[in-house]
Chain A
Amino acid sequence: MNLNRFMAIAAAATAFCMAGAEPGRAADNYPSKTVTVVVPFAAGGNTDTFGRLVAEELDKRLGQRFIVENKPGAGGNIGLGDLARSKPDGYTIGMGTVSSNAINQTLYKALPYDKDKGFEPISLIASLPNVLVVNPDRIKANSVQELVEFLKKEPGKHTYASSGVGTSIHLAGELLATKTGVKITHVPYKGSSQAILDVVAGHVDMMFDNIPTAAQQVKGGKVKALAVTSLERAALLPDVPTMASIIPGFEATSWHGLFAPPGTPPEIVEKLSKEVQAIIADPAMKAKLEAMGVTPVGNTSVEFKDFIAKETVKWAEVIKAANVPLQ
């Protein structure tokens, strides 16, 4: 091996990388090679689905491969740790959710990345409303008001299921408890499918569940929907009122967005953000997402950043008020 030649190549490679970080020119020829999209959850889940949909479109629009890489584990922390450690040159970007980017910040005592540096938000892709469903045999209530009255009569006697401690589904339940002062027992499960099954079967009384699966159970008459947790009514359940119309300020959606590692040149972030906005605004994509029960968003990086800041504060308050043990 010719050492000089190796050094020369190494130097050239370094120079090339530096050029990548240099502002201004960076965005013009970006992307010039394959981009990795880290999905910090397992293949086949919601986050993975949105990640793949957007990656496929970015692929078409920017003329480079956008490859999805699943790095599941520890509530998204492992994948995000990888993302934070990767080179901030725009060639590694990643998906994040309400749990991984707004709740875990408070819930976990230690994160495998720098909490304060965080990530560069690119764009919020979609948000999924949760819907409050009750088992009709166990809970005689046709509205949230009736439910609250019913629960107040028998404090501590009723249960709600969730997909795990600290998930947005769990915290929505805690939000209900703190906002209305009812006493309900939290019954956590590993994932939401076991949880909704036990609500359908009547082993647990109620739960907040992501709308796509819950809407099917509502239509099948297995459970009753009392309210949705988004600020607007959901297309899949147009007759169901919003939580916020009954309990002001009640919003608990599960959202999924695209992020870049901290320190990524702002030009690249902007370029990607504009592309994602255009992808989400595309009518075909919009229709596809809406059919899945999802609210397409596609906002700017600044809007997304503000949104995350607000969400982080909101969930931190809920976690504190509900005394959720930190992990």
Chain B
Amino acid sequence: MDIFSNLWLGASTAFLPMNLLYGFVGCLLGTAIGVLPGLGPTATIAMLLPITFGLPPESALIMLAGIFYGAQYGGSTTAILINLPGESSSVVTAIDGYQMARNGRAGPALATAALGSFFAGTVATILLAVAAPPLAAVALNFGPAEYFSLMVLGLVASVALASGSLVKAMAMIVFGLILGTVGTDVESGTPRYVFDIPELYDGLNFVAVSMGIFGICEILRNLENEQERSVGVKRVTGLMLTKEDFKRVCGPVLRGTALGSFLGILPGGGAMLASFAAYAMEKRVSPNRAEFGKGAIEGVAAPESANNAGAQTSFIPMLTLGIPGNPVMALMVGAMILQGITPGPNVISDEPKLFWGMIVSMWSGNLMLVILNLPLIGLWVRMLTVPYHLLFPAIVGFCCIGAYSINNSVFDVFVMAGFSVIGFALSKLRFEPAPLLLGFILGPMLEENLRRAMLISQGDPTTFLRSPLSLSLLIFAGLVLALVLSPSISRKREEAFTE
């Protein structure tokens, strides 16, 4: 069988009117729920999972995939509009996206996110169709040692996220890493910093922390200087991208797609790295790097494309090996098992209709998302013109429900409140929150893989250097670190000199 007959088989499944409808309904529901603050893709899929129980397997999975894309896009929408990343990958979108929104350019930011995601999704889907099995083999080469080196690279790159002081950004990363150690230690099973609170055994929840540090904290800052009725948002200028914008986003979208497609294949947290690795890279190579952090459109285009490309390719380990790479994929596998299909290495040959149907529907799902969301941009932007004194209570309310819905427990609401205080104190001291969150995401993966690699190699640290893949990642991390430090060191010298 060649690729075209496969795609034809897929298209004949995915383009059935019923399946198109389910895909559309999935996108719609996903967007509608995902755009509520605090409800990211995992929560949204978990909530909507029961709806798909009665459907035939193909339709159920197509609908779930639609919900996934919708929720993911919804998360980016809240990141841009109200500085509230709904999941880890939209943390960096919030940095420049929210600034764009405040400059009255929420429309172009959302359009960039939608179009960039669609392009990335298309490319990644083609990649998936053409080369899923060999790509899965690449994923298998990443063992604990390689993941550790990858995480080191990610951490080094995340220093580049800071727009202010380098030392302060590093302090935030380390603080985030420490917060990531809260909970049961994976290797020994010892609880750390849990103070006998059972809810803390699984660690602090990312969504609750990020809602506190970003969303609620932003409200606090806005209420401080509430001069106008709609806080800080300048007059909205145009909803679509200008010609100039188009020129600026092309490069970032291409680079983001490439990076995201690759990192998404790695099931041990690669997709999480994708968006901010893309951002960090763009901040280095972009001719407009001075604008980063103040509303650069590249700062939205790159991470959003990387994020969506990664979201597509993260299906590769699940579809070719039957092994879910992240919580969302685990939910999908759960849904497949309920449908009587246990995904495994043979799913391509045993269930070709399902496999290729999924792949084609990924593309159609992305298409629907664009069709659905481009017209909605006007609506979202108009939301910003709602007087702020009516908007922010609603945000606080939905944040509370969102935090509650994570584990159906009020504990996460308290965590959110606690972190809004921490975030607020940090912002008063001019610390940036994004590096903290990235440290928090990467910390557990860094530690786990470090210790796992040491365990497997029986305490031999050369394991990180003996694997060529790991070695090259570490060398690369060293180069990036040198690159990041050099301009700031020379700047420091100058400063010291003028003293």
Residue in A110, A201, A288 whose CB lies within 8 Å of B140: A201
- Assess whether B198 is in contact with A78, with CB atoms less than 8 Å apart: yes
Q: Which of A92-100, A189-197, A260-268 contacts B (4 or more CB under 8 A)?
A: A189-197
| With known contacts A112-B198, A198-B143, A219-B344, A188–B189 Cβ distance under 8 A | yes
CB-based contact A216/B322 at 8 Å: yes
Indicate whether A185 sits within 8 Å of B334 (C-beta atoms), given known contacts A220-B344, A327-B189: no
Residues of B within 8 A of A77 (CB): 198, 201
Minimum distance in angstroms from A319 CB to a CB of chain B: 11
Q: Does A12 interact with chain B (Cβ within 8 Å)?
A: no
Q: Restricting to B184-239, which residues have a CB under 8 Å from any CB of A?
A: 184, 186-191, 196, 198-199, 201-202
Task: Tell me if B317 counts as interface (CB < 8 A to partner A).
Answer: yes
Q: Which of B4-12, B119-127, B166-174, B323-331 contacts A (4 or more CB under 8 A)?
A: B323-331
Q: Which residues of B45-96 have CB atoms within 8 Å of chain A's CB atoms?
A: 46, 49-50, 53
Chain B residues near A75 (CB-CB < 8 A)? 201
The reply to whether the CB of A241 lies closer than 8 angstroms to some CB of chain B is no
Q: Is the CB of A165 within 8 A of B321?
A: no
Q: Which of A66-74, A83-91, A251-259, A278-286 is the contact stretch?
A: A66-74
The reply to whether the CB of B165 lies closer than 8 angstroms to some CB of chain A is: no
Pairwise interchain contact A73-B201, C-beta atoms closer than 8 A: yes
In the assembled complex, the Cα of A187 lies from the Cα of B457 at a distance in Å of 11
Contact between B189 and A324 (Cβ–Cβ < 8 Å)?
yes
Question: What 1/0 flags go to B293-330 for Cβ under 8 Å of A?
Answer: 00000000000000000000000010001111100001
Query: Is B248 an interface residue when CB atoms closer than 8 A count as contact?
Result: no
Stretch at the interface among B256-264, B335-343, B435-443: B335-343
Q: Does B455 contact A (CB under 8 A)?
A: yes
State whether A78 and B456 are in contact (beta carbons under 8 Å apart), knowing that A197-B317, A198-B143, A325-B190 are contacts in the complex.
Answer: no
B458: interface (CB < 8 Å):
yes
On whether the beta carbons of A49 and B455 are closer than 8 Å, the reply is no
B163 within 8 A of A: no
Minimal beta-carbon separation of A202 from chain B (angstroms): 8
Partner among B140, B184, B188 whose Cβ is within 8 Å of the Cβ of A200: B140
Enumerate chain B residues within 8 angstroms of A136, measured Cβ to Cβ: none
Contact with B along A199-236 (1 / 0, CB 8 A): 01111100000001101110111100000000000000
Contact: A193 with B330, CB < 8 Å?
A: yes
Among the listed B189, B333, B346, which residue makes an inter-chain contact with A220, where contact means beta carbons less than 8 Å apart? Answer: B346
Question: B268–A217 contact, CB under 8 A?
Answer: no
- Known A-B contacts A44-B331, A49-B334; the reply to A222 vs B409 at CB < 8 A is no
- B267 at the binding interface (Cβ < 8 Å): yes
Interface-centre pick from A48, A75, A185, A201 (highest chain B CB count, 10 A): A201
B407 an interface residue at 8 Å Cβ cutoff?
A: yes
In angstroms, Cα B197 to Cα A110, docked, is 10
A266-306 toward B: CB 8 Å interface, digit per residue (1/0)?
00000000000000000000001001110000000000000
Q: Quick check: is B408 within 8 A (CB to CB) of the other chain?
A: yes
| Contact residues, A21-51 vs B (CB, 8 A) | 42-45, 48-49
Cβ of A272 to closest chain B Cβ, rounded Å:
22
Contact of A190 with B345 in the complex, beta carbons under 8 Å: no
A194 touches B330 (CB 8 A): no
Write out, one digit per residue, whether chain B residues 386-409 have a CB within 8 A of any chain A CB (1) or not (0): 000000000000000000000111
User: Is A74 touching B201 in the complex (CB atoms < 8 A)?
Assistant: yes
Q: A44-B46, A110-B196, A165-B189 known; A73 and B407 CB under 8 Å?
A: yes
> A204–B456 contact, CB under 8 A?
yes
- The residues of A with any CB-CB pair to B shorter than 8 Å are 42-45, 48-49, 52, 69-75, 77-78, 81, 107, 110, 112, 156-157, 159, 164-166, 185, 187-191, 193-194, 196-198, 200-204, 212-213, 215-217, 219-222, 288, 291-293, 324-325, 327
Interchain Cβ contacts under 8 Å between A and B, 17 examples: A43-B49, A44-B335, A52-B53, A72-B202, A72-B407, A74-B202, A159-B455, A193-B330, A201-B141, A201-B143, A203-B144, A216-B344, A217-B344, A220-B321, A222-B321, A325-B188, A327-B189
Binding site for A on B (CB under 8 A): 46, 49-50, 53, 140-144, 184, 186-191, 196, 198-199, 201-202, 267-268, 317, 321-325, 330-331, 333-335, 337-338, 340, 342-346, 407-409, 448, 452, 455-456, 458
Q: Shortest 7 CB-CB distances between A and B: which pairs?
A: A216-B344, A220-B345, A165-B189, A44-B334, A203-B143, A74-B201, A201-B140
